[in-house]
């Protein structure tokens, strides 16, 4: 297991370096220049040159990359070209919004998906079983910003019980206020996310329901609920954990869109603004951090899968 | 087993009820209006906090007159008034300005305002690495002297009648201050509280202000990237006022409601169809006139802005002193357009590429132009580009045939006097008039000359001035004292009273 972990971590590091190179090169292929964001419509050639020097876009590409890679290796993400603020603390202040948003959404989505998926499988013959299946189909087709707009319309503009957007200036100093601000965004992401998750849960549950061990357990006198909890959950979990890893990463991406609908000062809105302003330092910083997040989640999902299912562990030992 | 669905519904419902309960405590905002916090919604977040390092229009909106002050101020009505200047004397030849400073002004850091701060502030604008949009306006300064702490003497290389007006754009900054892209040291009625990038910028009333103190205790600029989210925030009371509505679609919901005031002021933002006058067929004024006459600007404006906005026949908005109504110079007349095209040698029209910035309202304007110009045989190929790409392709490389752009500044008709500007309009008379106007002895003389410029560029159809944007401010009806015109994106917050 230790060798596996080390090998897996090495792979993670290599992936990160490859991703960084791709991010860097792709950004430079975009037309335009970061210096433009600093300029007005009557800029002189000297002003343009000065702005390019400030933005660093007058340096050769290789040098720009080496400078940046060196910084990242020292856990320094550089300074924004536009605002001159250091990137890393800015990202940290955005994560205060994005991490709770992602995790809460994911947790709620998981609860909803388990409830809906298991119900849809166990009660496939009832009207609400089919209704839930139908809803999850619909949920997969609906764009996340559209769900956000509907929720704002009902709960913020209609009933007036929740804010339509924004985040408290004091961040989490008043946790209740912060949670209020996150309620609609979290529900938005969770509704959409749970729709696709519920389908996996339903399929996994159906597999378990048709299995021999469950039939045996029930023949031994267990009720359906008890049999599912005792034997079904663990067996059904393996494929679901793999999917969960991917879904958690997707939740982060969903947060990007939702943050702009709800004006949340998170990583997503930082990325959008940075792209608009062509602020390479900020774009690269956000992408590196979110790539790292996705890679770490994948890593954890692999490890958890191995813990849940001993058979996977054996196969690795066999390879050794 | 009990239905999991029912359980989920119960959990969700209780969460919402809980959330609803806690809302009651947070909206109350009682007390004296002088202690009020005014929440301002804006789409223009500063890129940084300096106006000589390309901070963008957002920093002007939040800081100009609020945090930083100039020697002069441009009022909401377009008048130039002394602010930090106590008095000014001009020499008879118009080449020397002696300005006395107010003696009761201190910076937020506590340091007294002196003439050397004024000198260094001007030098920051004219410095080699300055990104200030006003840099070129001060090339005329040949020397700045500070004979004593309260006096600044400017020497000009040639007379400049706009000199005091131009000074109204220069923030007087403590010459010893550093880190001006992320902090400030001005003399205005507010200090910078906190800037949370991507979210809010807070200004706190400054108790040692030399003039009348601000009518409110705190101003919070809340920044939105999405106009709908901004409107929703006003509807739910999270903000008190929107500085500038950029789409009329949402106005209906405010207009019919007593809880809100919708005011239409005058803007200085012009929507332009700018030709590259260097390339065929746009090097022929007749072709440009034909295109002007083929465009129904009235219909265009009402499609984009409904009942708002103003038609202009030249680059000049009504708030500029040299405005005159020139909308009839190139009237909407499709038959006339066809005749002019035939006369110019294009009886069957032609095809051109229109570089269109990707953000509102340009794509919609481009499509309306495309359909209108099709009626006279001109095919428009729309090429949508990002704002950033526009800057490189159109503005710097002049690699375009025609483009759409909004020009926000007042008094900017003078750009037609620069043949090197991106649109390449080249008329020796206009260049001479612009130069003479700047060196005029009286404002009457300046106005007379710039009117001639207006008329000539309209006659030559140098560009098509499609319309002047409306300046629409929507506020909750308890709010008073906010600027309705907001010239050049400034937004003075110190008179705002919240009841």
Nearest CA in chain A to B416: A42
* Residues A192, A44 share a domain: no
Higher pLDDT, A164 or B28: A164
Chain-chain contact of A265 with B391 (C-beta, under 8 angstroms): no
Chain-chain contact of B54 with A187 (C-beta, under 8 angstroms): no
Q: Please identify, among A40, A73, A106, the residue that sits at the C-terminal boundary of a domain.
A: A73
Instruction: Indicate the pLDDT class of residue A134, thresholds 50, 70 and 90.
Output: confident
Chain A partners within 8 Å of B15 (Cβ): 183
If contacts are CB pairs under 8 Å, which of residues 155-174 in chain A contact chain B?
Answer: 155-157, 159-167, 169
* Residues A159, A33 share a domain: no
Q: What is the mean pLDDT of chain B?
A: 88
Q: Does A280 touch chain B (CB under 8 A)?
A: no
Interface with A, mutate which of B57, B195, B219, B391 (most A CBs under 10 A): B391
Q: How confident is the model at residue A164, as a pLDDT? A: 87
Of the partner residues B48, B136, B236, the one whose CB lies closest to the CB of residue A157 = B236
* Residues A175, A233 share a domain: yes
Per the structure, the complete domain to which residue A33 belongs is given by 2-73
Chain B partners within 8 Å of A40 (Cβ): 54, 131-133
Q: What is the rounded average pLDDT of the residues B180-189?
A: 92
Read off the pLDDT of residues A172-231 as tens digits, 9 standing for 90 and up: 888 988 999 999 999 999 988 888 888 888 888 888 777 777 777 777 777 777 777 766
Chain B partners within 8 Å of A84 (Cβ): 48, 53, 181-182
Read off the pLDDT of residues B195-205 as tens digits, 9 standing for 90 and up: 988 889 999 99
Nearest CA in chain B to A44: B136
| Euclidean distance between CA atoms B492 and B473, whole angstroms | 13
Instruction: Indicate the pLDDT class of residue B383, thresholds 50, 70 and 90.
Output: very high
Domains held by chain A: number: 2
* Residues A170, A66 share a domain: no
Q: Does A187 touch chain B (CB under 8 A)?
A: yes
Chain A partners within 8 Å of B405 (Cβ): 41
Q: Is residue A171 over pLDDT 60?
A: yes
Query: Quick check: is A86 in a domain?
Result: no
Contact present, A83 and B182 (Cβ < 8 Å): yes
| Euclidean distance between CA atoms A160 and B377, whole angstroms | 53
Q: Is residue B61 over pLDDT 50?
A: yes
* Residues A222, A123 share a domain: yes
Q: What is the rounded average pLDDT of the residues A273-286?
A: 85
Q: How confident is the model at residue B99, as a pLDDT? A: 94
Chain B partners within 8 Å of A269 (Cβ): 198, 225
Query: Quick check: is A186 in a domain?
Result: yes
Of the partner residues A37, A157, A165, the one whose CB lies closest to the CB of residue B47 = A37
Q: Is residue B13 over pLDDT 60?
A: no
Question: Range with the lowest mean pLDDT among A304-318, B5-19, B333-347?
Answer: B5-19
Query: Quick check: is A56 in a domain?
Result: yes
Structure pTM? 0.82
Q: How confident is the model at residue A232, as a pLDDT? A: 67
Q: Give percent helix, percent strand, percent coil of chain A, each to the nearest 5.
A: 80, 0, 20
* Residues A29, A178 share a domain: no
Interface with B, mutate which of A169, A267, A270, A285 (most B CBs under 10 A): A169
Of the partner residues B133, B198, B200, the one whose CB lies closest to the CB of residue A169 = B200
Instruction: Indicate the pLDDT class of residue A1, thresholds 50, 70 and 90.
Output: confident
Of the partner residues B19, B131, B236, the one whose CB lies closest to the CB of residue A183 = B19
| Euclidean distance between CA atoms A214 and B101, whole angstroms | 90
Q: Is residue A290 over pLDDT 70?
A: yes
Q: Is residue B308 over pLDDT 70?
A: yes
Of the partner residues A82, A85, A180, the one whose CB lies closest to the CB of residue B19 = A180
3-state SS, residue A212 = helix
* Residues A237, A102 share a domain: yes
Query: Quick check: is A87 in a domain?
Result: no
Chain-chain contact of B236 with A53 (C-beta, under 8 angstroms): no
Chain-chain contact of A44 with B393 (C-beta, under 8 angstroms): no
* Residues A100, A66 share a domain: no
Instruction: Indicate the pLDDT class of residue A302, thresholds 50, 70 and 90.
Output: confident
Q: What is the rounded average pLDDT of the residues A245-260?
A: 82
Of the partner residues A82, A119, A260, the one whose CB lies closest to the CB of residue B47 = A82
Question: Complex ipTM above 0.90?
Answer: no
* Residues A201, A105 share a domain: yes
Q: Is residue B219 over pLDDT 50?
A: yes
Interface with A, mutate which of B232, B360, B420, B489 (most A CBs under 10 A): B232
Instruction: Indicate the pLDDT class of residue A251, thresholds 50, 70 and 90.
Output: confident
Higher pLDDT, A253 or B471: B471
Query: Quick check: is A308 in a domain?
Result: yes
The CA distance from A109 to the nearest CA of chain B, in Å, is: 11
* Residues A57, A162 share a domain: no
**Over pLDDT 90: what percentage of chain B?**
62
Query: Quick check: is A88 in a domain?
Result: no
Distance of CA B363 to the CA centre of its chain: 20
Read off the pLDDT of residues B319-330 as tens digits, 9 standing for 90 and up: 888 999 999 999
Interface with A, mutate which of B10, B18, B19 (most A CBs under 10 A): B19
* Residues A120, A61 share a domain: no
- What CATH number has the domain bearing residue A103? 1.10.3720.10
Query: Quick check: is A151 in a domain?
Result: yes
Nearest CA in chain A to B232: A164
The CA distance from B21 to the nearest CA of chain A, in Å, is: 8
* Residues A115, A232 share a domain: yes
Query: Quick check: is A83 in a domain?
Result: no
Question: Range with the lowest mean pLDDT among A298-312, B71-85, B290-304, B430-444?
Answer: A298-312
């Amino acid at each position: 297991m230790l060798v596996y972990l080390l090998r897996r971590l090495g792979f993670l590091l290599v992936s990160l370096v490859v991703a960084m190179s791709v991010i860097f090169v792709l950004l430079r292929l975009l037309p335009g220049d970061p210096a433009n964001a600093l300029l007005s419509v009557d800029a002189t050639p000297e002003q343009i040159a000065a702005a390019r020097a400030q933005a660093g876009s007058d340096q050769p590409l290789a040098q720009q990359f080496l400078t940046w890679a060196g910084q990242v290796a020292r856990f320094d993400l550089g300074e924004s070209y536009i605002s001159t603020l250091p990137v890393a603390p800015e990202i940290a202040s955005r994560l205060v919004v994005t991490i709770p948003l992602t995790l809460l959404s994911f947790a709620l989505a998981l609860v909803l998906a388990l409830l809906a998926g298991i119900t849809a499988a166990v009660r496939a013959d009832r009207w609400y079983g089919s209704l839930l299946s139908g809803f999850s189909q619909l949920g997969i087709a609906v764009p996340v910003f559209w769900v956000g707009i509907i929720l704002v319309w009902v709960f913020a503009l209609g009933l007036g019980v929740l804010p339509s957007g924004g985040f408290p200036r004091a961040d989490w100093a008043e946790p209740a206020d912060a949670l209020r601000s996150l309620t609609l965004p979290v529900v938005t992401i969770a509704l959409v996310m749970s729709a696709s998750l519920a389908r996996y849960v339903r399929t996994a549950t159906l597999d378990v329901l048709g299995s021999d061990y469950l039939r045996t357990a029930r023949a031994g006198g267990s009720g359906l609920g008890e049999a599912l909890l005792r034997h079904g959950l663990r067996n059904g979990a393996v494929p679901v954990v793999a999917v969960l890893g991917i879904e958690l990463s997707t939740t982060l991406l969903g947060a990007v869109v939702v943050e702009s609908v709800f004006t949340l000062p998170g990583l997503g809105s930082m990325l959008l603004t940075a792209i608009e302003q062509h602020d390479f330092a900020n774009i690269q910083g956000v992408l590196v951090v979110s790539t790292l997040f996705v890679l770490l989640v994948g890593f954890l999902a692999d490890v958890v899968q191995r813990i849940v299912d001993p058979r996977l562990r054996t196969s690795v030992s066999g390879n050794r | 087993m009990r239905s999991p669905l029912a359980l989920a519904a119960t959990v969700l419902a209780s969460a919402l009820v809980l959330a609803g309960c806690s809302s009651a405590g947070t909206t109350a905002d009682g007390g004296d209006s002088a202690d009020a916090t005014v929440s301002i919604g804006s789409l223009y977040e500063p890129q940084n906090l300096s106006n000589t390092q390309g901070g963008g229009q957002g920093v002007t909106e939040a800081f100009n007159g609020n945090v930083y002050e100039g020697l002069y101020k441009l009022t909401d009505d377009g008048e130039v008034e002394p602010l930090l200047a106590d008095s000014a004397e001009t020499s008879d030849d118009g080449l020397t300005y002696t300005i006395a400073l107010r003696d009761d002004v201190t910076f937020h850091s506590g340091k007294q305002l002196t003439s050397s701060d004024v000198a260094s502030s001007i030098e920051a604008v004219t410095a080699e690495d300055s990104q200030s949009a006003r840099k070129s306006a001060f090339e005329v300064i040949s020397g700045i002297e500070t004979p004593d702490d309260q006096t600044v003497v400017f020497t000009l290389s040639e007379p400049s009648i706009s000199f005091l007006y131009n000074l109204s754009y220069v923030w007087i900054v403590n010459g010893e201050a550093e880190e001006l892209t992320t902090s400030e040291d001005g003399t205005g009625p507010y200090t910078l509280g906190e800037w949370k990038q991507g979210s809010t910028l807070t200004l706190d009333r400054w108790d040692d202000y030399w003039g009348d103190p601000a009518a409110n205790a705190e101003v919070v600029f809340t920044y939105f990237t999405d106009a709908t989210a901004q409107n929703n925030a006003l509807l739910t009371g999270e903000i008190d006022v929107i500085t500038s509505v950029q789409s009329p679609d949402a106005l209906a919901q405010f207009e019919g409601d007593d809880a809100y005031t919708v005011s239409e002021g005058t803007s200085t933002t012009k929507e332009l169809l700018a030709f590259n006058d260097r390339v065929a067929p746009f090097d022929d004024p007749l072709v440009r006139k034909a295109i002007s006459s083929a465009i129904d600007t009235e219909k265009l404006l009402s499609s984009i802005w409904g009942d708002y906005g103003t038609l202009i026949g030249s680059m000049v908005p009504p708030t500029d002193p040299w405005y005159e109504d020139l909308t009839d110079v190139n009237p909407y007349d499709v038959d006339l357009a066809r005749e002019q095209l035939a006369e110019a040698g294009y009886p069957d029209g032609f095809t051109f590429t229109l570089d269109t910035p990707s953000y509102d309202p340009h794509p919609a304007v481009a499509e309306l132009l495309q359909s209108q110009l099709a009626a006279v045989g001109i095919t428009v190929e729309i090429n949508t580009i990002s704002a950033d790409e526009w800057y490189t392709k159109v503005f710097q490389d002049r690699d375009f045939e025609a483009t759409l752009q909004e020009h926000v500044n007042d008094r900017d008709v003078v750009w037609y006097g620069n043949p090197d500007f991106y649109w390449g309009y080249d008329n020796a008379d206009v260049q001479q008039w612009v130069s003479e106007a700047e060196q005029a002895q009286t404002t009457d003389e300046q106005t007379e000359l710039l009117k001639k410029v207006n008329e000539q560029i309209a006659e030559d159809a140098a560009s098509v001035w499609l319309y002047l944007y409306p300046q629409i401010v929507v506020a909750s009806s308890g709010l008073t004292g906010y600027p309705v015109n907001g010239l050049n994106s400034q937004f003075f917050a110190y008179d705002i009273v919240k009841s």
